[in-house]
């Protein structure tokens, strides 16, 4: 595991989320446990504890390395490439599903 994320320059909060739930699960009529938002394109996918792990599948499909929790009150990021969870002090609150 890395000590620092080498993709911090890619962190932006301006990208609009793709919706209020996991895009693929909603299309398939499935449920999820927690949601994650791709920092680069806004794709909202389900977490690795959800049956289909769509956030991680999105990383493997398109290569976008950073996700952020899309849960209310959670401000952490995860970098798939550096295998690292982190927060960015001073950043405004992230969008979250309702």
Give the residue extent of every domain in the chain: 8-86
**pLDDT for the residue 23:** 96
Contact 96, 72 (CB under 8 A): yes
Query: Over the stretch 44-60, which tens digit does the pLDDT of each residue have?
Result: 999 999 999 999 999 99
Helix (H) or strand (E) holding 78: strand 77-79
CA–CA dist 66, 82 (Å, integer) = 10
Side-chain half-sphere exposure of 18, counting CA atoms within 13 A: 21
CATH topology of domain 8-86: Herpes Virus-1 (3.30.40)
* Residue 77 DSSP SS3: strand
Instruction: Give the pLDDT score at 93.
Output: 62
Using the predicted structure, report yes or no on whether residue 98 has a pLDDT greater than 70: no
- Both tokens of 91, joined, read 């950043």
């Amino acid at each position: 595991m890395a000590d620092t994320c080498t993709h911090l320059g890619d962190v932006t909060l301006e990208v609009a989320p793709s919706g209020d739930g996991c895009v693929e699960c909603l299309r398939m009529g499935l449920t999820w446990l927690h949601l994650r938002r791709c920092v680069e394109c806004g794709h909202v996918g389900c977490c690795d504890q959800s049956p289909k792990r769509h956030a991680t599948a999105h990383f493997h499909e398109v290569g976008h390395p950073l996700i952020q929790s899309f849960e209310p009150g959670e401000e952490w990021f995860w970098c798939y490439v550096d295998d690292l969870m982190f927060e960015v002090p001073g950043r405004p609150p992230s969008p979250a599903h309702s």
